[in-house]
């Protein structure tokens, strides 16, 4: 059974000016997502700036999200690391905190072999009982989980159920789904490829766009699954200029700026990220206006 179908938000972690997690804003953002029809919440992913959270902060944020959501939709905790033992620890703790599933990124910098990736993910999955979604984003990690490796993991390990595919390579995704024969749930990791991924047999998206447009992102998926492919396609294309603006600088710099444009809901970013360049911020604001968000 799939962890979710539709549009899951890769939710931001709002910070105060002093750098602390702003739990009041975080609670507000979670409620906005639920009210907007979001189908799942991914907490402490790339967009949540997990790489600059201490382990204690990381788990506090996961636990807070689980309590705030209170079972109203699935909570997926980002628990990946380039150290297998650390990923095991974070995954076990997330399970104890009540996360419904974990998202585990491929180990970055180490550049493991395909066998190394297989063993890494298997060790993590074997240490917990909740579902595991792999996260393939070679542009950030420097390593590509090959389709054969993903299918092997989903067939060999009961609780490895799918992959967030942020390769941007639809040909590779097609090969993956052809090999999978239904054993791999594929979620788009790119907001500009939601409909193409659904057309290939994907289950939905883990989305940055959903932070600012939860209802629209949900509807892109919902319309497709209801059979309104043309409506889904149209909504996907209408969102492209805004999506481009949300990725004109490294994620999550633009989406945090966008959340602040919606009413100071993003807070600051942690170094080494910096605030959005003024010329890019102007374009983002213009696209948000055109899209009807502000």
Interatomic CA distance for residues 264 and 242, integer angstroms: 19
Return the biggest CA–CA distance within the chain. 49
Interatomic CA distance for residues 22 and 90, integer angstroms: 21
Closest among 124, 135, 122, 73 to 98, alpha carbons compared: 73
Q: Tokens for 232, please give them.
A: 């889904």
Kindly tell me the sign of the dihedral angle through the C-alpha atoms of 250, 39, 146, 91.
positive
Residues forming the active site: 135, 164
Interatomic CA distance for residues 120 and 266, integer angstroms: 33
Kindly tell me the sign of the dihedral angle through the C-alpha atoms of 246, 197, 75, 35.
positive
User: At which residue do the structure tokens 């966008």 appear?
Assistant: 258
Q: Which DSSP category does 50 fall into?
A: G
């Amino acid at each position: 059974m799939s962890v979710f179908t539709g549009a899951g938000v890769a939710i931001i972690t709002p910070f105060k000016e002093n750098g602390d997690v702003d739990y009041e804003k975080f609670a507000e953002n979670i409620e906005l997502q639920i009210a907007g029809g979001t189908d799942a919440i991914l907490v402490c992913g790339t967009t949540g700036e997990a790489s600059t959270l201490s382990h204690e902060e990381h788990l506090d944020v996961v636990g807070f999200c689980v309590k705030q959501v209170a079972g109203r939709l699935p909570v997926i905790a980002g628990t990946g690391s380039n150290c297998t033992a650390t990923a095991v620890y974070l995954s076990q703790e997330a399970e104890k905190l009540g996360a419904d599933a974990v998202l585990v990124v491929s180990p970055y910098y180490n550049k493991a072999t395909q066998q190394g990736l297989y063993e890494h993910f298997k060790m993590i999955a074997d240490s917990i009982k909740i579902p595991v979604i792999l996260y393939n984003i070679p542009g950030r990690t420097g390593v590509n989980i090959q389709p054969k490796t993903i299918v092997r993991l989903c067939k060999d390990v009961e609780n490895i159920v799918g992959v967030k595919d942020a390769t941007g390579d639809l040909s590779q995704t097609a090969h993956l789904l052809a090999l999978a024969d239904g054993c791999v749930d594929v979620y788009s990791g790119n907001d500009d490829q939601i409909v193409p991924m659904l057309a290939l047999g994907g289950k939905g998206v883990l989305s940055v766009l959903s932070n600012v447009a939860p209802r629209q992102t949900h509807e892109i998926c919902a319309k497709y699954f209801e059979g309104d492919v043309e409506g889904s396609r149209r909504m996907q294309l209408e969102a492209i200029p805004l999506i481009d603006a949300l990725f004109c600088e490294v994620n999550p710099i633009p989406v945090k700026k966008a959340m602040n444009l919606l009413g100071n809901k993003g807070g600051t970013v942690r170094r080494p990220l910096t605030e959005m360049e003024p010329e890019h911020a102007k374009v983002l604001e213009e696209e948000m206006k055109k899209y009807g968000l502000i």
